[in-house]
Amino acid sequence: MIEYVYIMTYRQIKRFIRAKSRIAGTLINNILWLLFFGLGWAYTLRGQQFQVLFKGLDYLAFLLPATFATSIFQTSFMGGISVIWDKQFGFLKEVLVAPAPRSLTILGRALGDSIVSIVNGMIMLAFGFGLTSKLNPVGLPLAIAMGLVMALGFTSMGIAIASAMTSPEGFQLIVGTITMPMTLLSGSMFPINMAPQWMQILALISPLTYAVDLCRYYLTGVSLLDSMYPWLNHGTELLLLLITSLALIIVAMRMFERTTIE
Amino acid sequence: MEYDITVENLVKRYGSIEAVRGISFTVSRGEIFGFLGPNGAGKTTTIHILTTLLKPTAGKATVAGYDVVKEPDKVRRCIGVVFQDPSLDLNLTGYENLFIHGRLYGLNGQRLREKIEEALKFVELWEFRDKEVKSYSGGMRRRLEIARAMLHTPKILFLDEPTIGLDPQTRAHIWDYIRELRRSYGTTIFLTTHYMDEAEILCDRIAIIDHGKIIAMGTAEELKSMLSSDIVYVKLEHLNGEVCSKISLEGIKNCRVVEGNTIALQVRKASEAIPAILQLLDRLEIRVLEVSYRRPSLNDVFIHLTGREIRDSEASPAETMRMRHRARVR
Ligand SMILES: Nc1ncnc2c1ncn2[C@@H]1O[C@H](COP(=O)(O)OP(=O)(O)OP(=O)(O)O)[C@@H](O)[C@H]1O
Ligand SMILES: [Mg+2]
C-alpha cells in the first residue's frame, strides 16, 4: 500500500528538482517579497509605539512566521496544476490505467507537492532568521509539522479543483481568485484582530488564518486570534486545521477517483 | 479456443456523437489483432473502453476474462497500454519513467531493476537510460513507451497507432519489437492503425472499422479475396481527364486516376485484361509508357467497401508536423 504513496511522492519531488528555472523563480520572488515588502514596512513601523499593534513584536517578527505559512499555502495550492498538465500531456492516463489504487497515488502526489512547498517555506524562513533575531528556533519543529498538515490540506484542495477541470487557464483563474483574498485575510500582513468585525468573521472561515496564527505562536509565542476570542487558543486552532486538512484530503481522493479522460 | 478479449455490441456515445456503434469481435490468446480505420473511426474510443478508462454506453466487453466495467482492477493488472498520444514524463529519464511504472504495478527491488534492464535493452534504449526523455527523438519516445508497456509482462498489450508519425525505418523497427514480444512472451496484442501496410504486415486478423462500425473482418488474404480482382496500373504519356470514362471494357470494375499520369484499373484477372486494355488505348491513340499490376491491397478493399481511401500508407508530412507540434507544446 505505502509503496504506491511513496512512488508518486518520489515522482513529484524528482520533477521539482529537475525544474531548475521554477525553483530559481520561486526563490527570487520570495527574496524580493521579503526585501521590498517586509523590510519596507519594518522600516516604516520601526518605533516603539507601533509594537503595541503587534502585541510587542516588531514588524519583521510579526510578518516572517506568517510568511512561512502563506508561502506554503500558495505553492501547495498551485501544485494542483500539475494534475492538469498531466491530463493534457497524457501522463494521467498512465496513472489511471495502472492497478495502483487511485486514492493512494493521489495521496502520494499530495505528499510530494507538500514536501516541495515546505522546503520552499523553509528557505523563506531561513532568510527570516537572518533578518531578525526575534524568532525562537525552539518552535521550529512544531511549525514545520504544522506546515505539513496545512500543505497536505491545501495541495488536496488544489488537486480536487484540478480533477474537475480541463484547462490550466481555468485552474489558474480559480486559484488566483481564492489565493488573493485568503492571503490578505489571513492576518499575515496586518493584525486581523484590529480589522472590522465582518472581516474578522470572513477570516475565521479560512483555515489559512489558523495556520498563520499557529506559526506565529510557535515561532514568537504571540497569538492574535486569542485576543479576539479567548477560546481560540493554539490547541483549538491546531484541531480545526487538522480537521480541515483531513476533510480536504478525503475530498481530493474522491474527486480524483472520479476523474475521467472524457 | 481461449479468448483474451471479447466484445459484444459495444456502443459509446459522447453526447449526441456516436463514436462506437455496436461492434462485436473476439481476440484469441496470443493473437495479433488490428483495427484498421480512418480518422474518427472510433479506434481510440474502443481502446479506452477496453483499458477501463472510459465506460461504454451499452454493450459488454471482457479482457483477460474480466468484465471491463465490473472488474476494472483485475483488468488493469493484466494489460499494458501504449496510448496514441504521448504519455511519458518528459522531465524524468527513461529509467525513471520505467521505474515509476514498475512500482505502480507492484514491482520492486532487484526484480524491478532486472525488468527495466531487459525492457530497455529490448527496445535498444539502455544506453540512453539516464537521459531526460525531453532529449529523446519521436521514435525513441515511442520505443520507450513500448518498453514501459511491456515492463510488467502484461498478458495483453494494447497499442494505439504505435507508429504514427514515425519514419519508415523506425516503423519497421517497432514492428520487429511487436512480433518479438509475441514470440518471446506469447503476448496477445490489440493494435489500431490507419496504415494499410502496418495492418497487413503485423496482424493475424484485421477488423476494418469506419464510422464506429466494423465493416469487414478477417485475415489480410481473406479481406483481399473479397474483391476477387487485380489492380492494373497504366502510366500514360499525357493524362486526359476523361480517360477513365473512355475505357469501358467488359471486366473493368473500377477506374481511377492515381498519382502522376497513372490510372489504376480494377480487373478480374490482370493477365487476361492487360492485352485488351493496351489494344483499346492504342485505338484511342493514347500512348502508354508503363504497365504493371498487383494483387489488391487493403486500401482497395477499403475503397471497395466505403468508396473512400483510408489515407496514404506512409506517414504524411502534415502528420509528422502534428507529432512534432505536440512534442513541442509539452
Ligand atoms: N471526448 C470526446 N468528446 C466528444 N467526442 C469525441 C471525444 N473523443 C472522441 N470523440 C469523437 O468520437 C469519434 C471517434 O473518435 P476516436 O478518437 O475514437 O477515433 P479514432 O479512430 O481513434 O481516430 P484517429 O485515427 O484520429 O485517432 C470522433 O468523431 C471523435 O470526434
Ligand atoms: Mg485514435
Q: Does A17 touch chain B (CB under 8 A)?
A: no
Boundary residue ending a domain (B207, B223, B239): B223
**Do the bridges between strand B3-14 and strand B58-63 make them parallel or antiparallel, or are there none, so unpaired?**
antiparallel
Say yes or no: B113 and B201 in one domain: yes
Chain length of chain B:
330
Q: Does A15 touch chain B (CB under 8 A)?
A: yes
Grid coordinates given for B241:
481527364
* 3-state class (DSSP) for residue A16: helix
Q: Is residue B323 part of a domain?
A: no
Of A3, A96, A97, the CB nearest to B103: A3
Say yes or no: B75 and B164 in one domain: yes
Say yes or no: B58 and B181 in one domain: yes
Say yes or no: B168 and B233 in one domain: no
Q: Does A262 touch chain B (CB under 8 A)?
A: yes
pLDDT at residue B311, rounded to an integer: 60
Q: Which residues of B touch A4 (CB under 8 A)?
A: 103-104
Say yes or no: B139 and B209 in one domain: yes
Across A89-110, average pLDDT: 92
CB B101 to CB A94 under 8 A?
yes
B42 lines ligand 1 (CB under 6 A): yes
Of A18, A99, A262, the CB nearest to B76: A99
Q: Is residue B254 part of a domain?
A: yes
Say yes or no: B11 and B82 in one domain: yes
Q: Is residue A111 part of a domain?
A: yes
* Average pLDDT per 10 consecutive residues for chain B, totaling 330 residues: 91 93 95 93 95 94 95 94 93 95 93 94 93 93 94 95 89 91 94 92 94 92 82 85 76 79 84 86 87 84 80 44 43
- Tell me the per-residue pLDDT of A165-215, one tens digit each, with 9 for 90 and over: 888 899 989 988 999 999 999 999 999 888 899 999 999 999 999 999 999
Say yes or no: B56 and B138 in one domain: yes
Question: In chain A, whose CA is at the least distance from the CA of B50?
Answer: A97
Q: What is the ipTM of this complex?
A: 0.87
Structural domain that includes position A154: 2-257
Structural domain that includes position B246: 229-295
Grid coordinates given for B188:
496477445
Q: Is residue B302 part of a domain?
A: no
- Tell me the per-residue pLDDT of A126-136, one tens digit each, with 9 for 90 and over: 888 888 888 88
Say yes or no: B245 and B265 in one domain: yes
pLDDT at residue B1, rounded to an integer: 65
Q: Is residue B11 part of a domain?
A: yes
Q: Which atom of ligand 1 is nearest to the CA of B42?
A: 18
B40 lines ligand 1 (CB under 6 A): yes
Of the candidate ranges A44-58, A143-157, B76-90, the one whose mean pLDDT is the lowest: A44-58
Q: How many contacts, defined by CB atoms under 8 Å, are there between A and B?
A: 74
- For residue B241, what is the domain's CATH number? 3.30.70.920
Instruction: State how many domains chain B has.
Output: 2
Q: Is residue A85 part of a domain?
A: yes
How far is the C-alpha of A28 from the C-alpha of B65, rounded, in Å? 56
Say yes or no: B17 and B140 in one domain: yes
Q: Is residue B313 part of a domain?
A: no
CA-based nearest distance B168→chain A, Å = 25
% of residues, chain A, pLDDT over 90: 50
Say yes or no: B199 and B72 in one domain: yes
- HEC states along chain B? CCEEEEEEEEEEEECCEEEEEEEEEEEECCCEEEEECCCCCCHHHHHHHHCCCCCCCEEEEEECCEECCCCHHHHHHHEEEECCCCCCCCCCEHHHHHHHHHHHCCCCHHHHHHHHHHHHHHCCCHHHCCCEHHHCCHHHHHHHHHHHHHCCCCCEEEEECCCCCCCHHHHHHHHHHHHHHHHHHCCEEEEEECCHHHHHHHCCEEEEEECCEEEEEECHHHHHHCCCCEEEEEEECCCCCCHHHHCCCCCEEEEEECCCCEEEEEECCHHHHHHHHHHHHHHCCCCEEEEEEECCCHHHHHHHHHCCCCCCCCCCHHHHHHHHHHHHHC
The answer, yes or no, to whether residue A13 has pLDDT greater than 60, is yes
Q: Is residue B315 part of a domain?
A: no
Q: Does A33 touch chain B (CB under 8 A)?
A: no
% of residues, chain A, pLDDT over 70: 100
B193 lines ligand 1 (CB under 6 A): no
Which residue has cell 537510460?
B129
B17 lines ligand 1 (CB under 6 A): yes
**Do the bridges between strand B58-63 and strand B66-67 make them parallel or antiparallel, or are there none, so unpaired?**
antiparallel
Region of B256 (left: φ > 0; alpha: ψ -120 to 50; beta: rest) is: beta
Say yes or no: B102 and B164 in one domain: yes
Q: Is residue A262 part of a domain?
A: no
Burial of A58 from C-beta contacts in 10 A (0-12 / 13-18 / 19+): middle
Say yes or no: B41 and B179 in one domain: yes
Boundary residue ending a domain (B223, B243, B271): B223
Q: Is residue B321 part of a domain?
A: no
B16 lines ligand 1 (CB under 6 A): no
What does pTM read for this prediction?
0.84
How far is the C-alpha of B109 from the C-alpha of B130, rounded, in Å? 18
How far is the C-alpha of A190 from the C-alpha of A64, rounded, in Å? 12
Distance B101 CA to ligand 2 centre (A): 23
Q: Is residue B154 part of a domain?
A: yes
